[in-house]
Structure 1
Amino acid sequence: MPLLAAMALVVGTGGAAGAWILVKLIAIATNLFWFGRLSAQNVLITDASVGFLVIVIPVIGSLIVGLMARFGSEKIRGHGIPEAIETILFGESRLSLKVALLKPLSSAVSIGSGGPFGAEGPIIMTGGAIGSLFAQCFHLSAAERKTLLVAGAAAGMTAIFGTPLAAILLAVEVLLFEWKPRSFVPVVVAAMVAFAWRPYLIGTGPMFPMAAIMPVTGTALLASAAIGLVVGLEATLLSTLLYRVEDAFHKLPLHWMWWPALGAVVVGLGGLIDAHVLGAGYASIEALLNGALALRVVVALLVVKAVVWLVALGSGTSGGVLAPLLILGGAAGFLLGQFLPGDAGFWAMVGMAGIMSGAMRAPMTGAIFAAELTGHFQALPCTIVAAAGAYAISVLLMRRSILTEKIARRGRHVLQEYAVDALDLLQAGQIMTPSPETLPGTMTVGEAVSFFTNDAGHRSYPVVDDEGRLLGLVSRTEALRWRADRSNADTTLSDAISDAAQPLAYPDTPSGAVADLIIATGIGRIPIVERHTHRVVGILSRQDLLKVRGANREAETDRMRFVRFATDDPGGRSPQTRRR
């Protein structure tokens, strides 16, 4: 952990630098495509006057992205986070230099030419690539590379949005697939290093400061729950439609390189209807939060932005999902806020927290992210309620999140529910088979061969001395070898196995450690001995370990009632007979 935390100082700096480069590249691409000038100044696409070229410009940008993906790296396609998850779980957390270079460049071209995406997915992939590349320079395990990959991703997200808490929670809920000091501490270090760099590279303060505030009352919490349920349904619908669109593109008789250009035609038509749907839309998010948009524009954002985003992302171009989700959830919250007390901008913030939770299956990230983006931490009770409501709807209606569905379609199913391993909760003495059958050390090899041929009920047996102390283990495999070679038939087992290394465990050994021992040695039955005397007190087999899983499953699903009432069955049946 200290080593990885020290390395995270470098990774955090790299992630912050990657975020700065991405922001500048997006600004340069936007100026080139929409204003015909070479500049890194931040500009809005809505200020451009290009007429019907609004249809052509996104197509040009998407053609460039398609070429980069075809002849550069196919990993730059998509919104970044699923690709990062897949690399962590199935790619030993190794990303290439090509991805680190091409992902921000392709995303800048895509977003700068009007693609309706955000920078968060690309920077997560880019920051992750920086962390992975740095880790690959050293002798580290796949788990340690994962930690630095995720640390880079969290650093990049922190630098872009100024949300270190949400970045850390996103790492835990979506990317790490564990909660261990070895991974958590380095991620925190990297995020905070990036946060320290942010004033010098990106800026200070909340990314979307807002004036609207509302006291957290019972009414506000109920309203937040209602908005969470609505945007949870919205997240479910968007995820379903996204993969329907993606399936439609896969049926086209064209190489996937051309798909982004076809999707960009829809983006251009959407921009012709309302230019607010083009680009990352950060200005639209800020306007939503401050109630500065007319209802007509909000409705256009909700409908047209959804269409162009779904088609563009389904076509396989490069860009993120977070900013579009914030716009769509914020627009829904804003419209619902017309019928709720308080400022509509406040309910837009609540909607943003909910849709991020529902779509990405990251409820705590969604709740904290909305508060950090706006600086309104006093609204946390409302954002948490909305996030929980959307999350509940999402898990009930969708098998997977918008992130993991993409991975599942490649035949790799990812479970986003974390639980403590049941084997880590139990000791060997609690699940072993006590007083196991043993063979005496005085038994001859010939007698052992006869025993395994005629009477043995197991594949191996502990061999003990007169005091019951472990001498070793004899298996059926050894008996077959001895049967073929009769030269040592009169040798005692104590002499025949005296030089053999014997794996063993103690009653207080964690069951998980015994499982690891079985995997490492290939021996399916591990003797359990008293720590001081080495007297055999039990045997722990693979079957015993599987029984733990069965008991844990029963604890999850076997329902029973222990408190009885006067109206219950007068027959006095025990609670065990009323299981369901």
Structure 2
Amino acid sequence: MKHPSFAQGIPVAPSLEPTLADDNVHPRVAPDKQRLLRMSLLAVLVAVTVSVVARLLVYLINLVSNLVFYGEASVGYHSPAENHLGLWVILMPALGGLVVSLMAMYGSKAIRGHGIPEAMEQILTNQSRIKPSIMYLKPLSAAISIGTGGPFGAEGPIIATGGALGSTLGQLIPITHHERKVLLAAGATAGMSAIFGTPIAAVFLAIELLLFEFSPRSLLPVALACITGAAGHHLLFEQGPVFEMPELAAPSNVALATYSVIGVLVGLASVAVTKIVYFIEDSFEKLPMHWAWWPALGGLAVGGIGYFAPRTLGVGYENISATLSGTAPLTLLLTLCLLKFASWAISLGSGTSGGTLAPLLTIGGALGALLGLAIQQYVPGADIALPLAALVGMAAMFAGASRALLTSIVFAVETTGQGQALLPLLGACTGAYLVSFLLMGNTIMTEKIARRGVKTPVDYEPDLLDKVSVERVLQSNMIAISTDNTIREVRAWTEREPERVAPHLVAVGPDGAFAGIINTMALASRQVDEHAPIGELLQPRTATVRATDSLRTSVECMARENVDVLPVLAVTGPPVVLGVISYRDILDAYKNRLEADGASAPHISLKRKGLRVLLRGQALMQAPRKRA
């Protein structure tokens, strides 16, 4: 019989060849467009619901605030800064913190904190499963906390609520955990878009802090949800920019450099802000009292600061508008930069229910305006505008504290409608991001979960397994065994030349057709009849991959079929077996990549393909393994 070679290929028996359509054998199929459409419709449904919940949450915050500070049952906005409670104002946030503690004790401890880190943790460790009770406990606790004077914004709680809604829907219907993650991210970002009317920034938030990937199956549902949330904002809240500010002129090159310097300085402040917040949180944990008392204790500090600086109480979106106007007095800027920060850091560190975005924007905007005033005073030629200095400070603070770079830039543009601010924002936020990256191991979003041993992805490069095809790492030294051989003959050959034996052998029939895979461990077993044909040791139903498939395809197929080697089929012409790929080949690919990243090692090279068949009564002559 003529020895078939690897270059010529071995025909595969039609009855044994698994087809690409057989999902039980080959896990990678064309994208399921119907499933993607279904997920998109579910994401839109979640976004519609979250938009309504966002409006109700704002009404609820206003109701609690009006009842506590003015004794009125009204859902209209009335700033708590105008209250006339006198010293009684000190007790209001403490009472609110006590109620939040009771809800955490008898409801769920997950309502504590600002929401995004908790959502990230569930995505990374619990297959995006969030307790359904968070859907109502989080907004209710946040309404009580903020309504009684807590220095937070409504965006954090609604992000957590939207994420819980998407996760709960994903637990009620039969979908994969990745699809559940998409629904969680869609609900969370739709909530942000509904509050601020910032769909593009919300999409970037999903990519940078929740999805940790960029693919159509994730991006399309989330984008549709964010668009729906923005429509809900325009319908249920208001038209136009959330934060009004004067029209900006195009900055000069000197001004651009100055704004970048402001971004670097604010980035340093963002590092300090993050470290102080977690220092306060650690300090609360050392107190000799039950954690349920911490929010009340933090509330007393909030109330005390609020007594002397009423503008630090409550949501305070009007404070952001004031800093962006460029006309805020110095005393207000100092109050927001120092006292608002102290109130927020103590309250958040105490473990109450709140958020981070609005306070960071307020503090950053005030700091940017203060830096702008100082630069105008001492560097007359800088030619900067105070409103723009406040805007870049606002965005840079969020960029440095969260490292959501693109989210910070686009959010500032969308909430103000100032396209001329794009270049200054890019320079300032990049500077803040760089400082944060160099000086902090984690961010204000990830420090808490990092302490619990949860690693947050920071790289978004394509997976190596997706970038390398099977044919580039295909084994060339695998041996094909004719099914005419007996177990005794093959066993004798393996004992005679053990260095040339692989863990698995390809078996071909008398006509050269692919017959299956033989495990050499089974070959060594003494419980089999050594006079029986080797075909009796064939593994049942062997899965295969194509030469042009990725290594990720191979890994998924190995995991699904519980095998560690796969025959590789040719793509064009008659289906032929080109060889086999094993998990060791995939590990070698990773090793080569690590060497290439660390030194001038060569890239993964295409291995020369060649196959020899051990026929009955014949010696094997195998070509040496080479690299092209």
Query: Residue 260 of structure 1: CA displacement?
Result: 0.7
Q: Give the Cα–Cα distance (whole angstroms) in 2 for the partners of residues 342 and 416 of structure 1.
A: 34
Answering whether residue 514 of structure 2 is matched by residue 473 of structure 1, we say no
Query: Residue 416 of structure 1: CA displacement?
Result: 2.4
Change (3 A) 1:64 1:495: closer
TM-superposition CA deviations, 1:58-117 (whole Å, max 9, x none): 111100111111111111000000111112222222223311001011111111111111
TM-superposition CA deviations, 1:108-138 (whole Å, max 9, x none): 1111111111111111011112222233332
Q: Give the Cα–Cα distance (whole angstroms) in 1 for the partners of residues 442 and 122 of structure 2.
A: 18
- Taking the TM superposition and a 5 Å limit, the aligned residue runs for 1:66-145 are 66-145=101-180
Answering whether residue 258 of structure 2 is matched by residue 223 of structure 1, we say yes
Match for 1:552 among 593, 603, 623?
593
Q: Give the Cα–Cα distance (whole angstroms) in 1 for the partners of residues 355 and 583 of structure 2.
A: 45
Q: Give the Cα–Cα distance (whole angstroms) in 2 for the partners of residues 60 and 314 of structure 1.
A: 17
2:39–2:221 Cα contact (<8 Å) kept: yes
Query: Residue 521 of structure 1: CA displacement?
Result: 2.2
Provide the residue aligned with 1:537 in structure 2: 578
2:258–2:384 Cα contact (<8 Å) kept: no
Residue identity matched to 2:292: M
Q: Give the Cα–Cα distance (whole angstroms) in 2 for the partners of residues 405 and 279 of structure 1.
A: 25
- Taking the TM superposition and a 5 Å limit, the aligned residue runs for 1:124-273 are 124-273=159-308
Residue identity matched to 1:78: G
Residue identity matched to 2:564: G
Provide the residue aligned with 1:463 in structure 2: 507
Query: Residue 536 of structure 1: CA displacement?
Result: 4.1
Provide the residue aligned with 1:485 in structure 2: 528
Residue identity matched to 1:401: T
Query: Residue 210 of structure 1: CA displacement?
Result: 0.5
Match for 2:90 among 29, 35, 55?
55
Q: Give the Cα–Cα distance (whole angstroms) in 2 for the partners of residues 283 and 294 of structure 1.
A: 14
Change (3 A) 1:538 1:252: same
Q: Give the Cα–Cα distance (whole angstroms) in 2 for the partners of residues 485 and 555 of structure 1.
A: 46
Q: Give the Cα–Cα distance (whole angstroms) in 1 for the partners of residues 455 and 415 of structure 2.
A: 32
1:236–1:358 Cα contact (<8 Å) kept: yes
Provide the residue aligned with 1:522 in structure 2: 562
Secondary structure of 1:527's partner?
A: strand
Secondary structure of 1:109's partner?
A: helix
Secondary structure of 2:566's partner?
A: strand
TM-superposition CA deviations, 1:248-281 (whole Å, max 9, x none): 1112222211111111122122212311112122
Secondary structure of 1:438's partner?
A: strand
Residue identity matched to 1:350: V
Which ranges of 4 or more aligned residues in structure 1 deviate by more than 6 Å? none
Query: Residue 454 of structure 1: CA displacement?
Result: 6.5
TM-superposition CA deviations, 1:166-201 (whole Å, max 9, x none): 111111111111112112111111111222222331
Residue identity matched to 2:516: G
Q: Give the Cα–Cα distance (whole angstroms) in 2 for the partners of residues 140 and 18 of structure 1.
A: 24
Secondary structure of 1:463's partner?
A: strand
Match for 1:379 among 400, 421, 424?
421
2:151–2:359 Cα contact (<8 Å) kept: yes
Q: Give the Cα–Cα distance (whole angstroms) in 2 for the partners of residues 485 and 430 of structure 1.
A: 37
Query: Residue 533 of structure 1: CA displacement?
Result: 5.0
Query: Residue 552 of structure 1: CA displacement?
Result: 2.6
Match for 1:431 among 448, 464, 473?
473
Identity of aligned residues (%): 38
The TM-score normalised by the length of structure 1 is 0.92
TM-superposition CA deviations, 1:396-453 (whole Å, max 9, x none): 1111121111111112111222110111111111112224233332221223444556
Secondary structure of 1:140's partner?
A: coil
Query: Residue 215 of structure 1: CA displacement?
Result: 1.4
Match for 1:12 among 41, 47, 64?
47
Query: Residue 479 of structure 1: CA displacement?
Result: 2.2
Gaps of 5+ in 1: 561-580
Query: Residue 469 of structure 1: CA displacement?
Result: 4.6
Change (3 A) 1:158 1:529: closer
Answering whether residue 395 of structure 2 is matched by residue 353 of structure 1, we say yes
Secondary structure of 2:48's partner?
A: helix
Change (3 A) 1:535 1:189: closer
Query: Residue 514 of structure 1: CA displacement?
Result: 0.9
Change (3 A) 1:454 1:400: farther
- Taking the TM superposition and a 5 Å limit, the aligned residue runs for 1:404-415 are 404-415=446-457
Change (3 A) 1:455 1:246: farther
1:428–1:540 Cα contact (<8 Å) kept: yes
Q: Give the Cα–Cα distance (whole angstroms) in 2 for the partners of residues 551 and 281 of structure 1.
A: 54
Query: Residue 20 of structure 1: CA displacement?
Result: 0.4
Superposition CA RMSD, Å:
1.9
Query: Residue 459 of structure 1: CA displacement?
Result: 2.1
Query: Residue 525 of structure 1: CA displacement?
Result: 2.2
Answering whether residue 386 of structure 2 is matched by residue 344 of structure 1, we say yes
Secondary structure of 1:406's partner?
A: helix
Secondary structure of 2:505's partner?
A: strand
Match for 2:462 among 420, 431, 448?
420
Provide the residue aligned with 1:329 in structure 2: 364
Match for 1:396 among 409, 427, 438?
438
Provide the residue aligned with 2:26 in structure 1: none
Answering whether residue 410 of structure 2 is matched by residue 368 of structure 1, we say yes
1:242–1:311 Cα contact (<8 Å) kept: yes
The TM-score normalised by the length of structure 2 is 0.85
> Aligned pair count?
556
Q: Give the Cα–Cα distance (whole angstroms) in 2 for the partners of residues 370 and 227 of structure 1.
A: 16
Provide the residue aligned with 1:294 in structure 2: 329
Residue identity matched to 1:437: I
Residue identity matched to 1:492: P
Change (3 A) 1:40 1:391: same
